Amino acid sequence: MVLTLSKVDVIAEKLVEYVARAASRIRYNRDKLMTIAGSSLYGKVVKVISRVAEYIVEDRNGLLWCRLCNKGPFTKRGLYLH
């Protein structure tokens, strides 16, 4: 399977919501993720989502802070909407 730039862009755009949900520790539908990524890329996509989610959120004494803009503290939903 050859991925062109447009296919990569489409996949990346769809994965943004999953990264936001993972970062804010809100559950997401893994079956839908499998449909978007495909079975061959699913394992890598899950790893990328978890790594990016860990990078963009910091846990300070149980409160969630955004590492991109250093704002917080947020609730799970507040961080997701941020």
Average pLDDT value over all residues in the chain: 89
pLDDT tens sequence across 57-79: 999 998 999 999 999 999 999 99
Given this model, what pLDDT does residue 13 score? 87
Q: Is the pLDDT of residue 2 over 80?
A: no
pLDDT class for 34, splitting at 50, 70, 90? Answer: very high
Sign of CA dihedral 53, 54, 60, 62: positive
Q: How many CB atoms neighbour CB 41 within 10 A?
A: 15
pTM here is 0.82
Give the separation between CA 34 and CA 40, rounded to whole angstroms.
9
